[in-house]
Structure 1
Amino acid sequence: MIMRHTTWLIAVTCLTALMACGQQPPAKKKPNILFVITDDQSFPYASAYGTPGVRTPVFDAVAASGVLFNNAFAAAPQCSPSRAALLTGRNIWQLEEAGTHSSYFPKKFPVFTALLDSAGYKTGYTGKAWGPGNWKDAGWKNNPVGVAYNQHTIVPPYKTISNIDYSANFKAFYQQKQADQPFFFWVGTHEPHRAYTKGSGGDTGAVHLPAFLPDDAVIKNDLRDYAEEIAWADAQIGKIIDFLREKGELENTLIVLTSDNGMPFPSAKATLMEYGTHVPLAVSWKGVIEGGRRTDELVGLIDLAPTFLQAAGVAGMPQISGKSLLPLLTQQTDTARNAYVLTGMERHSASRPDNVGYPSRAIRTADYLFVLNCKPDRWPAGDPPPASEAPSPSPDIKPVGRGYHDIDDPSPSKSFLITHKNEWPQLFHQGFEKRPAELLYDVRNDPGCTKNLAADPAFDSVRHALRSQLQEMLTQQGDPRMTDNGDIFESYPRFGTMRNFPGFKKKGEYNPAYQHADH
């Protein structure tokens, strides 16, 4: 396990005390913005939520000095669509190619980072920005997030942890900015994305076991290794915040810590179920946001783009769906929040014949999660392995293997459920087998989404109301899935791994079978 040195513990203690100090007058100059987005961290995997077996003292300190969100949601349950939505303030069905995984990011969609840059901010990132996907051929000079600062590296404690030195790269960025120039910096940790080093989290101790995973030592150890990577990422962010304190910048820095989507386990990432899109979120801004608060308000990460722009005093982006969180953060009670958030998913990996996805849309209220699966005849986690596989037409086309590729590999938890599906039939069914067109979950009592209430007559009124609300909002926002043009999403190129399923499998090309003539 990662050593927790005494000096680090002292630094965290000092940081917590500093950030917990009383409020000071609001900053008069434009604020700096430090944005941290981990890779694949589900709610409630942060110790500020009281979750056992997770150590996130830096996240906890930021939450204590500001606002901790219990109900924050990524726009999509996978990396690049979620990040594109966050950058633009739009939902994935409003983003064309950027609404699917590992495709193009059309240059026509404004991003808040460019607006901050134009307003005089020094902008940049380290680690993972928007991606995976192709931004160069879409006309961008840099990644849509900004200029990369990844030159400084370290020797990590485990080979599955990134060697990027996030804090050293932030320092290099900071040293390049002009005196008194405000900055926006994006820290995209590669942790806790798979793979993990087996045993890095130990084989004893508390663990948060979601209801959709078997109660078995293999699963628990996998979760401990997952939590260890979360702890590593948290410690690296602490170094950046310590540097801001040393430079006297902490007083005027808006800090936002969150994740792009949920955990890479069955029934989580690449699904619209609760652990696929529900993410941690903590926000602090000393002297502007009153600390020690925790809120149940429903918010989306698409709300961050207008929040950052409003905080910086920069004109907002037109035709976006996100709403600034600043009135909520500063307790301006005359601004009401929505009673729901919307999420969506298109193709994740190359995991089905003809390179098609598993399109679905969802509406989440305080009590319920309703999911509309647009193509329920497809396998949600990707097709199972075929009885026999034709020879690959190219060395670049990987074999299908054991299938179910929308669940990340390598994964001990995935392997365990496949191998032991007869011992855990209900959990295997939930994670791997076909789902009905409509799903309804009582998320207050069933956060693991293990009991679908959509067919229960007692919940007919709830189901009808949520379906109507979802379809109304999707239609208003121009979702092609609400028209006869929904399959346009199936045409979009994929630049990631292609597998030897039947049908179309050309990397980086549009699928002509689904491409409309006017595209």
Structure 2
Amino acid sequence: MRYKLWLIAILCLPAMVARSQQKNSKRPNLLFVITDDQSFPYASAYGTPGVRTPVFDAIAASGVLFNNAFAAAPQCSPSRAAILTGRNIWQLEEAGTHSSYFPNKFPVFTTLLRNAGYATGYTGKAWGPGNWEDAGWKENPVGPAYNKQTLKPPYKAISNIDYSTNFQTFYQQKQADQPFFFWVGAHEPHRPYANDSGGDSGGVYVPGFLPDHPVVQNDIRDYMVEIAWFDAQLGKILDFLRERGELENTLIVLTSDNGMPFPSAKATLMEYGAHVPLAISWKGVIGGGRKENRPVGLIDLASTFLEAAGLAAIPHTPGKSLLPLLKGKTDPSRNAYVLTGMERHSASRPDNVGYPARAIRTADYLFVLNFKPGRWPAGDPPPVSEPPSPSPDIKPIGPGYSDVDDPSPSKMFLISHRDEWPLLFRQGFEKRPAEQLFDIRTDPGCTKDLSTNPAFDSVRNVLRGQLKDMLTQQGDPRMHGNGDIFESYPRFGNMRNWPGFKKRGEYNPAFQHH
């Protein structure tokens, strides 16, 4: 395929240094590529068996591969809002919950780039799901959409959006010498998947929080099929840029919005919920073949793009530019940890309440603070009997535990085989303590909670103090007595037939004045 030629070309850095130095006198292009629900370490650059991502790997080889990059939230729209604003989710009001409003009072880096003369646009999935139209935006906060061109994917579960051709349309419509920011938002590898599309050959990496069983193995193979398919589409985009001599003057960022849609991953603050792949390349500006172990957050990307474009950072945001680190410089102002957070995900509990939690992740440990440990973290189990739905707009509860995406063979297997895998079922679905502590070095699957182990008292106390201090400084309502305001925010996605409040797109008055 043509993009294979690009894989060779992108690694030939020495022969292109002089040309890239000339190009870099211009403002750089900015290409941001974000997949949907791809956990670290599901890219072959990380050495994970079974997954094939040669394009991602080539970008990592020509730049910096991050081993500890974290989304601000383990869910689509809050994570994407945090990327756009450089803020944590507790600083974003409605945009800190899933499928709500995105208040237009929060500046986004895409608008600042456009105001500075950049052409901006996106293909695929931008900010969402949620309602930007009624929140004062004239278009999606990412920019104008380029989604008209379609293709026939190998499976119906894969999006038919032709990412490459849509990018080419955008590129050809902009002014000839105009720098661009373009957001490539893959719909892959979000569920659903084509069953058994991954076949049964080759190894597969099953994280420690999932049963190493053929049902789960096949589900992960189907997941990896979508990762590999999108990687090939990305290769076409980069090949197009190379042919036009733009590749050497383009800062390329490849990542994902949150982790894999499996139990104990997406919609949790455990390791595979927020830990995502990240590779960044900028030829002639940052050196290649490097790996970075320091924890970084995707909220740092807003300042990174703005600094690369020669613009000031958005004021009063905790995200910090990654450029010093990318250039191999020391940055003493950078914290040695990353914060993550979660509010409501799906409509998974009575009264449409969420599972609020915050976490701090250092190079070695993950500490999680669960504000409502009396709630079911993955959503309530299904009731013994469900009353008739009051409206066609209200979905049945179904198998319950709805914060774990359906349809999911792994979820259903673990529910139906809970007696055979009691510890893994408990981790994925049963109630959690107010505090959790995991040693990521020895337990990347977060299967051994150390929060009650006296040997780790000092670690837990230090991390709890750091987390609460930072949340307080950043104005988190959960630390200032008004945390239930998050429960009031509207949800524009599907509502389920739980008791209590279930009005789609409306504020819950029971929590508005708390």
- The TM-score, its normalising length taken from structure 2, stands at 0.98
- Aligned residue number for residue 456 of structure 2: 459
3-state SS of paired residue (1:415): helix
Query: Which residue pairs with 1:3 in the alignment?
Result: none
Give distance in 1, aligned partners of 2:142 and 2:180. 13
Amino acid at match of 2:255: T
Matched residue type, 1:35: F
* Residue of 248, 268, 272 corresponding to 2:269: 272
What does 1:329-340 align with in structure 2 at a 5 Å threshold? 329-333=326-330, 335-340=332-337
CA spacing shift, 1:463–1:16, aligned 2, 3 Å: same
Rate the CA distance shift 1:10–1:83 in 2: closer, same or farther, 3 A: closer
By how many angstroms is 1:21 displaced? 5.3
Match of 1:293 in 2: 290
Q: Deviations over 1:441-481 (max 9, x none)?
A: 00011000000000111111111110011000000000000
Distance 1:171 1:335 in 2: 41
* Structure 1 counterpart of 2:246: 249
Is the Cα contact below 8 Å between 2:3 and 2:236 reproduced in 1? no
Give the 3 Å change call, closer, same or farther, for CA 300–334 of structure 1 in structure 2.
closer
Counterpart contact for 1:100–1:346, Cα < 8 Å: yes
Deviation of 1:351 (Å): 0.2
Partner of 2:143: 146
Q: CA deviation at 1:23?
A: 3.8
Aligned to 1:37: 34
**Does 1:17 pair with 2:14?**
no
Correspondence list, 1:108-257, <5 A? 108-257=105-254
Query: Displacement of 1:332 after TM fit?
Result: 2.4
1:4 corresponding residue in structure 2 = none
Residue aligning to 2:479: 482
Separation in structure 1 between the aligned mates of residue 78 and residue 44 of structure 2, nearest angstrom: 27
Residue of structure 2 aligned with 1:367, choices 350, 354, 364 = 364
Match of 1:499 among 473, 496, 506: 496
Q: Which residue of 1 aligns with 2:255?
A: 258
Q: Give the direction of change, closer, same or farther, for the CA distance of 1:455–1:21 in structure 2 (3 Å limit).
A: farther
Measure, in 1, the Cα distance between the counterparts of 2:485 and 2:330: 42
Counterpart Cα distance in 2 of 1:92 and 1:428 = 28
| Secondary structure of 1:436 counterpart | coil
Report the CA distance shift for 1:366/1:507 in structure 2 as closer, same or farther (over 3 A): same
Judged with a 3 Å threshold, the aligned counterparts in structure 2 of structure 1 residues 244 and 335 are, in CA distance, closer, same or farther, namely: farther
* Number of matched pairs: 511
Q: Which amino acid aligns with 1:227?
A: M
Contact kept in structure 2, 1:417 and 1:428, CA below 8 Å: yes
Alpha-carbon offset, residue 11 of structure 1: 2.7
Alpha-carbon spacing, 1:36–1:334, altered in 2? closer, same or farther (3 Å): closer
Give the Cα separation in 2 of the matches to 1:171 and 1:139: 29
Match of residue 315, structure 2, among 308, 313, 318 = 318
Mapping 1:397-416, distance limit 5 Å: 397-416=394-413
Q: Could you tell me how far 1:323 is from its partner in structure 2?
A: 0.3
Superposition CA RMSD, Å:
1.2
Determine if the alignment matches structure 1 residue 343 to structure 2 residue 340: yes
Matched letter for residue 221 of structure 1: N
Residue identity matched to 2:436: L
Other structure's SS at 1:137 match: helix
Write the deviation string for residues 120-139 of structure 1: whole angstroms up to 9, x where unpaired: 00000000000000000001
Distance of aligned partners of 1:13 and 1:318 in 2 relative to their CA distance in 1, 3 Å threshold: closer
Q: d(CA) in 2 for partners of 1:245 and 1:165?
A: 19
Separation in 2 of the partners of 1:335 and 1:483?
Answer: 30
SS of the residue 2:294 aligns to: strand
Match of 2:355 in 1: 358
SS at structure 2 position matched to 1:297:
coil
CA–CA distance in structure 2, aligned partners of residues 337 and 70 of structure 1: 17
Superposition deviation, residue 48 in structure 1: 0.4
* Worse overlay, 466-475 or 200-209: 200-209
CA contact (8 A) 1:327 1:335 kept: no
Cα deviations across residues 161-198 of structure 1 (Å, max 9, x unaligned)? 00000000000000011011000000000000000001
Give structure 2 stretches of 5+ with no counterpart: none
Partner residue, 1:105: 102
What amino acid is aligned across from residue 11 of structure 2 in structure 1?
A: A
Q: Structure 1: which 4+ aligned runs deviate by more than 2 Å?
A: 7-26, 332-337
Contact 1:261–1:276 (CA under 8 A) maintained in structure 2: yes
**Contact preservation (8 Å) 1:135, 1:144:** yes
Contact 2:2/2:239 (8 A) holds in 1: no
- Does residue 442 in structure 1 map to residue 436 in structure 2? no
Do the aligned residues in 1 keep the contact of 2:147 with 2:166 (CA within 8 Å)?
yes
Q: Which TM-score applies when normalising by structure 1?
A: 0.97
